[in-house]
A = this chain, B = another copy of it.
Amino acid sequence: MTTETKKKPDDNYARIIKAASEEFAEKGYEGARVDEIARRACVNKATLYYHIGDKAALYESALLKIFKNMEAELSDNVDKAVAPDEKLKTLVTTIAKNIMSSQFSAPTMLREIASGGQNLPKDVFLAMSRIVAILHSILDKGEKDGVFVKPNILVTHLMIVGALNFCAMKKLVIQQGESSGALTGDPFIDESWESVGEYVAETLINGLKSRKQV
């Protein structure tokens, strides 16, 4: 950290990344406007270009910030649990917490999956594969112990993240459906990530335990 490497670690940079995360989450990459990011961050647009670079650089910075937290927390928490079903429950609830308590994670991830991961940098793919690897070791151990029957690792993973990403958006979608006059008030609109995570975890654990051979 010499004099030149970080002249001003003031919150300008952090505010820009935060603003970019918000804008990209709300509008997607193509829908997001650089002018709007600058406005949200309360900096001049030219300042934004000076500090970070073009729109693509803004997006990548925002993406990486979103995916940094989950992985470390995940392996820490899973290590604490002992039995495979406990580990699986911990994995699901930790992912539920990260996805459902962030405003940016689910919309960004959903759009990336929709585009076939076209804009995902290598680091994010690596983080994703490490998460699948954790699930893999849990399910393998559980199968050897006789508690899980013939688990499909990838589809199980997609059941978890698919369900939780959709659950993270359900409040907004239901509100939109209500305002369009198509839906009426849903009592489950305000479920916490704790209860959703617990439901998904228990359903999966019991589903894998008692699966018939297919």
Interface residues of A (CB under 8 A from B): 26-31, 106-108, 110-111, 113-118, 120-123, 125-126, 128-129, 152-156, 158-159, 161-167, 169-170, 172-173, 175-177, 180-183, 186, 188, 191, 196, 198-200, 202-212, 214
CB distance from A17 to the nearest CB of B (A): 20
Task: For the complex formed, measure the closest distance between the CB of A141 and the CB atoms of chain B, giving whole angstroms.
Answer: 18
Q: Which residue of chain B has the shortest Cβ distance to A204 in the bound complex?
A: B207
| From B31, B153, B202, B210, contact of A214 by CB (8 A) | B202
Please determine whether A122 and B158 come into contact, CB atoms closer than 8 angstroms.
no
With a CB–CB cut-off of 8 A, which chain B residues contact A180?
A: 120-122, 125
Q: How far is the CA of A191 from the CA of B166 in the complex (A)?
A: 22
Interface centre among A118, A125, A152, A175 (most CB of B within 10 A): A125
Select which of B30, B169, B170 is within 8 A of A31 by beta carbon: B30
- How far does the Cβ of A130 sit from chain B's closest Cβ, in whole Å? 10
The reply to whether A113 and B166 form a contact with Cβ atoms under 8 Å apart is yes
When chains A and B are docked, how far (Å) is the Cα of A154 from the Cα of B173?
12
Check A159–B159 contact: CB distance below 8 A: yes
In the complex, what residue of chain B is closest to A171 when comparing beta carbons? B116
Which residue among A122, A191, A207, A209 has the maximum number of chain B CB atoms within 10 Å of its CB? A207
Pick from B29, B166, B203: contact of A208, CB under 8 Å: B203
Chain B residue at minimum C-beta to C-beta distance from A120? B176
Which residues of the other chain, B, contact A173 by a CB distance below 8 angstroms? 113, 116-117
- Separation of A129 and B180 alpha carbons in the complex (Å): 13
Is the pair B183, A155 in contact by a Cβ cutoff of 8 Å? no
B-side contacts of A117, CB under 8 Å: 172-173, 176-177
- Enumerate chain B residues within 8 angstroms of A191, measured Cβ to Cβ: 155
Given A120-B176, A152-B188 in contact, is the A169-B114 Cβ separation under 8 Å? yes
